[in-house]
A and B are shown apart, each in its own frame.
Chain A
Amino acid sequence: MGLPAGLLPTRRRLLAWLLPGLLVACGGQSCTTCSGPLPPPQSPDALLLAKTAQVQITQHGFDVIAGHVVALLKALFGAGPGGVAQIDVAKLLGPQPLQFSGGLGLFQGKAGARDLVLTLDLASLKIELVEGSNPARIRIAFDHARIGVVKGVVFGAASFLGVESDAACHLHDGVDVGQPTSHLATLSAQLDVVLAVDAQGKLAVKTQVQQPVLDDIGFTLSKDCGLAECTDQVLLEDPCLECELCATGKLGSDAIAGVKDLLGPLMSNLLELVGNLLVQQVLSQAMNGKPLDVEVPVDVRTLLAQAAPLLGDLVGEPAGPLLVRVRPSPQAFDVQDAALRARMDASAFAKAHPCVTEPGADAATAFAKLPEGPPPGLPPAMQQWQSDGSSVAKPVDIALLLSSRAVEEAVWATLRSGLMCASADSQQLFAASSGKLLVSLGALDVVMPGVRHLATAGSPIRVQIAPSALPEHAPLVHLAQEATATVVELGIRQLSARVEARVDGRWLTTVELTADVDLQAALQVIGGKIVLGVRKVDVPHIEVGGDPIAPYANWQALAPAVAKLAVALLLAQPLQFDVDVQQALAAVVQLPISAELVGVQSGGAQGDWLVLGIALGDKAGSP
Chain B
Amino acid sequence: MTRTPLDNWTLRRLLWALLVWLAACEDPPPPGPLHCTATSQCPSGYHCTQTQFCRGDQPCQSDEGCCLGERCQDGRCRERQGCSASASCLDPATVCTHGVCVPKDCQTSNYCGGGRTCLWGLCQNHTPCGGTCPIGQACAARLDRCVPAPAANCPTGKLAVLDNEVARMPEFCQALPITLSCKDLPPLPPGEIGWPGVLVGSGSGLTHVAYDRRYGDVVATRYAGAPPHAPTVTRWVLGLPEAGAVVGDPLGPRQGVAEPGPDVGRRLAAVALDQGAVALVARDTTHDALIYAEWAADGSVSQHKLGAFAGIGEAVALALVGDKPAVAAFVPAAPQANPATPARVIVWQAKQAHPTDAIHWQPIEVDSQVVSAPVAQCGGPCPSGQQCVVKGAVSLCVTPSKDCTSCILDQVCHAGQCLPKAVGLAPLDGEPQGRGASLALRVLTSGQLALAAYSSSSHDLALYRRTGDSWSKDLVTAAQVPASAGDVGRFVQIIEGDGGELWAVCQGGDGRTLLLVRQGTAGIHSEVLDDGVRKDGLHRVGADLAAVRHPSGGLLVAHQDTRRADLLLQHLPKLGQPAARDTLQATDMAGFSPSIVAIGTKAWVVAAARMKLSQDGKLQSEVELYDVVWNGE
Q: How far is the CA of A374 from the CA of B357 in the complex (A)?
A: 89
Residues of B within 8 A of A355 (CB): 537-538
Q: What 1/0 mask marks residues of chain B from 156 to 167 whose CB sits below 8 Å from any chain A CB? A: 000000000000
Q: Kindly identify which residue among B392, B423, B562, B616 contacts A509, using a CB–CB cutoff of 8 Å.
A: B562
Considering the complex, give the chain B residue whose CB is closest to the CB of A432: B420
Chain B: CB-nearest residue to A527: B405
- With CB as the reference atom, state the residue of chain B lying closest to A440: B428
What are the interface flags for A524-535 relative to B under an 8 Å C-beta threshold, 1 for contact and 0 otherwise? 001000010000
Given A449-B617, A453-B192, A505-B438, A309–B565 Cβ distance below 8 Å?
Answer: no
For A434, list chain B residues within 8 Å (CB).
Answer: 409-411, 420-421, 423
Knowing A433-B409, A507-B511, the reply to whether A573 touches B564 (Cβ < 8 A) is no
- Does A438 lie within 8 Å of B426, measured CB to CB? yes
In whole angstroms, what is the CA distance A569 to B565 when docked? 30
Contact between chains at B428 and A426 (CB < 8 Å): yes
B565 proximity list for chain A (CB < 8 A): 508-509, 547, 549
Give the residues in chain B near A526, CB-CB below 8 Å: 405
- Selecting from B234-242, B572-580, B607-615, the interface stretch reads B607-615
B293 at the interface (CB under 8 A from A): no
Interface residues of B in 400-432 (CB under 8 A from A): 403, 405-411, 416-429, 431
Contacts of B391 in A (CB 8 A): 309
User: Would you call A438 and B422 a contact (CB within 8 A)?
Assistant: no
Distance between Cα atoms of A518 and B419 in the complex (Å): 27
1/0 contact string of B460-477 vs chain A (CB within 8 Å)? 000000000000000000
Q: B78 near A: Cβ within 8 Å?
A: no
A356 & B426 in contact (Cβ 8 Å cutoff):
no
Beyond A459-B428, A547-B586, A552-B615, whether A309 also contacts B213 by CB under 8 A is no
The yes or no answer to A200 lying at the interface (CB within 8 A) is: no
B619 near A: Cβ within 8 Å? yes
In the complex formed, the residue of A with least CB distance to B437 is A505
> Cβ of A573 and Cβ of B540 under 8 Å apart?
no
Is the Cβ of A459 less than 8 Å from the Cβ of B613?
no
Query: For window 486-507 of chain A, which residues contact chain B by CB distance below 8 Å?
Result: 496, 498, 500, 502, 505-507
Do the beta carbons of A549 and B612 come within 8 Å of each other? yes
Partner of B619, one of A433, A454, A458: A454
A43 contacts B by Cβ under 8 Å: no
For A459, the closest partner residue in chain B by CB is B429
B327 close to chain A: CB less than 8 A: no
Q: Given A354-B538, A450-B619, A507-B511, are A572 and B420 also a contact pair (CB < 8 Å)? A: no
Query: Shortest CB–CB separation between residue A299 and chain B, in angstroms?
Result: 14
- Taking the nearest CB of chain A, how far is it from the CB of B385, in angstroms? 19
Tell me which residues from 418 to 433 in chain A have a Cβ below 8 Å from any Cβ of chain B.
426-427, 430-433
Q: In the assembled complex, how far is the CB of residue A363 from the closest CB belonging to chain B, in whole angstroms?
A: 18
Provide the residues of chain B in CB contact with A498, threshold 8 Å: 563
Q: How far is the CA of A97 from the CA of B159 in the complex (A)?
A: 131
- Per the bound structure, the CA–CA distance linking A432 and B420 in Å amounts to 6
Q: Are B589 and A505 in contact (CB under 8 A)?
A: no
Chain A residues whose CB sits within 8 angstroms of the CB of B491 once the complex forms: 505
Residues A305 and B392 in contact, CB atoms below 8 Å apart: yes
A residues near B419, Cβ cutoff 8 Å: 309
Give the nearest-CB partner of A526 in chain B.
B405
Indicate if the CB atoms of B428 and A458 lie closer than 8 Å: yes
Counting CB contacts under 8 A, is B543 at the interface? yes
A387 sits at the interface (CB 8 A): yes
What is the CA–CA distance of A433 and B257 in the complex, to the nearest angstrom?
47
B58 at the interface (CB under 8 A from A): no
- In angstroms, Cα B565 to Cα A546, docked, is 10
Q: How far is the CB of B348 from chain A (nearest CB, A)?
A: 23
Q: Which listed residue, A310, A460, A574, touches B420 by the CB 8 Å rule?
A: A310
For the complex, is B544 an interface residue (Cβ under 8 Å from A)? Answer: yes
Please report the C-alpha to C-alpha distance between residue A139 and residue B211 in the assembled complex, in whole angstroms.
88
CB-defined contacts of A448 to chain B, threshold 8 Å:
613
B271-297 near A? 1/0 per residue, CB < 8 Å: 000000000000000000000000000
Assess whether B407 is in contact with A573, with CB atoms less than 8 Å apart.
yes
Closest-by-CB residue of A relative to B410 is A434
Given that A387-B405, A458-B429, A550-B613 are contacting pairs, would A431 and B589 also be in contact in the complex, using a CB cutoff of 8 Å? no
Report the minimum CB–CB distance from B419 to chain A (whole Å). Answer: 6
B428 touches A309 (CB 8 A): no
Determine whether B493 belongs to the interface, using a CB cutoff of 8 Å to chain A. no
Instruction: Say how far A307's CB is from chain B's closest CB, in angstroms.
Output: 9
Bound together, the chains give a CA A430 to CA B377 distance in angstroms of 14
Q: How far is the CA of A355 from the CA of B537 in the complex (A)?
A: 5
Asked whether, in the complex, the Cβ of A354 is within 8 Å of the Cβ of B533, the reply is yes
Tell yes or no: A435 within 8 A of B by CB: yes
A576 on interface, CB distance cutoff 8 Å: yes
CB distance from A191 to the nearest CB of B (A): 46
What chain B residues lie within 8 Å of A500 (beta carbons)? 562
**Beta-carbon contacts of A349-360 to B below 8 Å, as 1s and 0s?**
000001111000
CA distance A552 to B614 in the complex (A): 9
Which residues from chain A contact B563 at a C-beta distance below 8 Å? Answer: 498, 509, 512, 546
Q: A451-B613, A508-B589, A546-B564 are in contact. Are A574 and B392 (CB under 8 A)?
A: no
- Given A459, A506, A550, A573, which contacts B411 in the complex, CB threshold below 8 Å? A573
Nearest A residue to B454, CB-CB: A505
Q: How far is the CB of A123 from chain B (nearest CB, A)?
A: 47
Interface string of A442-482 (1 = CB under 8 A from B): 00010011110111111110000010000000000000000
> Please, which residues of chain B bring their CB within 8 A of the CB of A232?
none
Chain A residues near B422 (CB, 8 Å)? 431
Contact of B409 among A427, A436, A445, A547 (CB under 8 A): A436
A224 at the B interface (CB under 8 A):
no
CB neighbours of A576 from chain B (8 A): 405, 416
Find chain B residues with CB under 8 A from A505 CB. Answer: 431, 437-438, 456, 490-491, 543
Q: Is A313 an interface residue (CB 8 A)?
A: yes
Interface residues of B in 608-633 (CB under 8 A from A): 611-619
Q: Which of B490, B565, B587, B588 has the most CB of A within 10 A?
A: B565
Does B390 sit at the interface, judged by CB under 8 A?
A: yes
A414 to B422, CA, bound (A): 30
Contact with A along B199-227 (1 / 0, CB 8 A): 00000000000000100000000000000
A451 contact set on B, CB distance < 8 A: 613
CB within 8 Å of B: which A564-605 residues = 569, 572-574, 576
- Which of B403, B407, B564 is the one whose CB lies under 8 Å from A547? B564
Q: Are A430 and B536 within 8 A (Cβ)?
A: no
- B213 contacts A453, C-beta separation under 8 Å: yes
Residue of B408, B438, B544, B618 with most partner-chain A CB within 10 A: B408
Contact of B589 among A458, A502, A549 (CB under 8 A): A549
Given A434-B411, A505-B490, A531-B405; A453-B423 close (CB under 8 Å): no
- CB contacts (< 8 Å) of A433 on chain B: these are 409, 420
- B255 sits at the interface (CB 8 A): no
- What chain A residues lie within 8 Å of B537 (beta carbons)? 354-357, 466, 496
Residues of A within 8 A of B490 (CB): 505
- Beta-carbon contact of B392 and A309 below 8 Å: yes
Cβ of A312 under 8 Å from chain B: yes
B87 at the A interface (CB under 8 A): no
A352 to B566, CA, bound (A): 26
Q: Closest CB-CB distance, B562 to chain A, in whole Å?
A: 5
Instruction: Report the separation of the CA atoms of residues A572 and B410 in the bound assembly, to the nearest whole angstrom.
Output: 13
Partner of A312, one of B392, B405, B586, B619: B392
Q: A427-B428, A450-B613 are in contact. List 8 more A-B contacts (CB 8 A).
A: A309-B392, A356-B537, A433-B409, A450-B616, A505-B491, A547-B587, A569-B409, A572-B408
Binding site for A on B (CB under 8 A): 192, 213, 390-393, 403, 405-411, 416-429, 431, 437-438, 456, 490-491, 511, 533, 536-538, 540, 543-544, 560, 562-566, 586-589, 611-619
17 pairs, A vs B, C-beta closer than 8 Å: A309-B392, A426-B428, A431-B423, A431-B426, A432-B420, A434-B409, A434-B420, A435-B424, A449-B616, A450-B617, A451-B613, A460-B426, A505-B491, A506-B540, A506-B543, A526-B405, A547-B564
Nearest 9 Cβ contacts at the A-B interface? A449-B617, A450-B617, A458-B429, A430-B426, A435-B423, A453-B619, A434-B410, A506-B543, A450-B613
